[in-house]
């Protein structure tokens, strides 16, 4: 008899035809999954199995599979991106699970991210927030030399940490209030810390917060769950900076 080397798993997967349909969990069995496979490779195997059985494959988002695009938005056993820290779903490997385990797979659960189909959600709300003010539009002429604008290293490092946000939506999906404050604060912070972003700082903070509220995201109550589940470890200290920027903008008015 051949030695068993893979994982036999039970998958409880959320299935939903569209945002208006009634969703439900469906149960599938997958066998002999390599512990070296990524979670998305396991999902690919499941979909091949379903197609071979003449069934509809599970729809889920993915793109780069390198942890930099933020597309792989899955809630796995109650955690955004699954049971590991500082990773996206595509960086999650099956060695984090054990043989015979039941894995529950859901889409992001947030009012700001309506379900498109199965595990795919509409995250265009984040794009709309960015369009509201997450950019620098002042005329800067030609590209200056790298050292032409002196920036303290501490500020540059903190701006880079904020810029590490990939907009995956794990923060809003994890927050009990469905707040997008960590995402918005990261995008505001990365510009607020740099001279190029100061010219439009007040306008940016007000516009992005207003768009966030308009799109139905909740308020921040500083529980820290967003920071804990952020795959890039973006700090909630940026939320404090966003609050300061927003307050200064309103005082200035």
Taken in order of first residue, the domains within the chain and their CATH numbers are 7-117 (3.10.20.30), 124-252 (1.10.1060.10)
pLDDT (tens digit per residue) in 53-67: 999 999 999 999 999
| Burial profile 138-168: b = 16 or more Cβ within 10 angstroms, e = fewer | eeeeeeeeeeeeeeeeeeeebbebbbebbbb
How much is the pLDDT for 154? 94
Handedness of CA 85, 211, 215, 250 (dihedral sign): positive
pTM confidence score? 0.91
| Burial profile 237-247: b = 16 or more Cβ within 10 angstroms, e = fewer | ebbebbeebbe
Compute how many other C-beta atoms are within 10 angstroms of the C-beta atom of residue 29: 10
H helices of the chain, in order, are 39-52, 124-133, 153-163, 170-174, 181-192, 195-198, 201-214, 225-229, 237-252
* Main-chain dihedrals φ then ψ at residue 24, nearest 5 degrees: -160, 160
How much is the pLDDT for 141? 65
The number of angstroms, rounded, from the C-alpha of 75 to the middle of its chain's C-alpha atoms is 11
How much is the pLDDT for 2? 45
Query: CA 195, CA 189: separation in Å to the nearest integer?
Result: 12
- Mean pLDDT by groups of 10 residues along the chain of 253 residues: 75 96 97 97 98 98 94 96 96 97 96 95 97 84 73 93 96 96 96 90 95 95 95 96 93 79
Q: Report the SS3 class of residue 187.
A: helix
Residues paired with 93 in a beta bridge: 38
The length of the chain in residues reads 253
How much is the pLDDT for 83? 96
Query: CA 95, CA 107: separation in Å to the nearest integer?
Result: 22
- Give, as one character, the DSSP assignment of residue 218: B
Compute how many other C-beta atoms are within 10 angstroms of the C-beta atom of residue 63: 11
pLDDT (tens digit per residue) in 130-155: 999 999 886 656 767 767 788 899 99
């Amino acid at each position: 008899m051949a030695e068993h080397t893979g994982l036999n798993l039970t998958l409880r997967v959320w299935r939903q035809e569209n945002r208006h349909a009634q969703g439900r969990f469906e149960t599938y069995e997958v066998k002999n999954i390599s512990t070296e496979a990524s979670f998305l490779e396991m999902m690919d195997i499941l979909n091949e199995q379903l197609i071979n059985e003449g069934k509809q494959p599970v729809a889920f988002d993915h793109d780069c599979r390198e942890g930099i695009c933020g597309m792989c938005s899955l809630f796995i056993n109650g955690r955004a991106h699954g049971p590991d820290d500082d990773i996206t779903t595509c960086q999650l490997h099956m060695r984090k699970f054990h043989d015979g385990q039941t894995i529950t797979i859901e889409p992001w659960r947030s009012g700001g991210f309506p379900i498109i189909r199965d595990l795919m959600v509409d995250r265009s709300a984040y794009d709309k927030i960015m369009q509201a003010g997450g950019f620098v539009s002042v005329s800067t002429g030609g590209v200056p030399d790298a050292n032409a604008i002196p920036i303290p290293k501490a500020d540059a490092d903190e701006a880079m940490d904020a810029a590490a946000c990939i907009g995956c939506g794990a923060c809003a999906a994890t927050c009990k209030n469905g707040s997008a404050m960590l995402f918005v604060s990261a995008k505001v912070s990365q510009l607020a810390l740099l001279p190029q972003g100061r010219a439009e700082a007040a306008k940016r903070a007000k516009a992005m917060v207003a768009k966030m509220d308009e799109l139905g995201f909740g308020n921040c109550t500083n529980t820290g769950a967003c920071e804990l589940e952020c795959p890039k470890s973006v700090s909630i200290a940026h939320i404090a900076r966003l609050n300061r920027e927003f307050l200064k903008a309103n005082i200035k008015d």
